[in-house]
Amino acid sequence: MGVALLEVAVCDPRDVAGAQEGGADRLLLATQAGMSPEPALVSAVCREADVPVHVVLRLNDTWSTTGGELTRLAGLGEDYVGSGTDGFTFGFLDADLEVDTELCVYLADLLPDVPWTFGRAVDDTLDPRRSWRRLIDLPGLAGVRSAGSPRGLESGFDDLLALAGSDPRIGGLLVAEGGLVAEQVPWLVRAGVRSFHLERQGRPGGSAKAYVDAALVRSWRLLVDDALDRAVRSVG
**5-235 is classed in which CATH architecture?**
Alpha-Beta Barrel (3.20)
> Which of these, 160, 109, 152, lies nearest to 131 by C-alpha position?
160
Taking only the tens place, the pLDDT of each residue in 145-189 is 999 999 999 999 999 999 999 999 999 999 999 999 999 999 999
Q: Are 215 and 6 within 8 A, CB to CB? A: no
Q: Is the pLDDT of residue 1 over 60?
A: no
Taking only the tens place, the pLDDT of each residue in 107-130 is 999 998 899 999 999 999 999 999
Q: Are 22 and 47 within 8 A, CB to CB? A: no
For residue 235, the model assigns a pLDDT of 76
If you average pLDDT over residues 184-202, what whole number do you get?
97
Confidence (pTM): 0.95
Taking only the tens place, the pLDDT of each residue in 48-76 is 999 999 999 999 999 998 888 999 999 99
Residues in contact with 81: Cβ distance below 8 Å, sequence separation at least 6, in sequence order: 111, 114
For residue 171, the model assigns a pLDDT of 95
Q: Are 92 and 120 within 8 A, CB to CB? A: no
In DSSP terms, which residues pair with 89 in a beta bridge? 56, 117
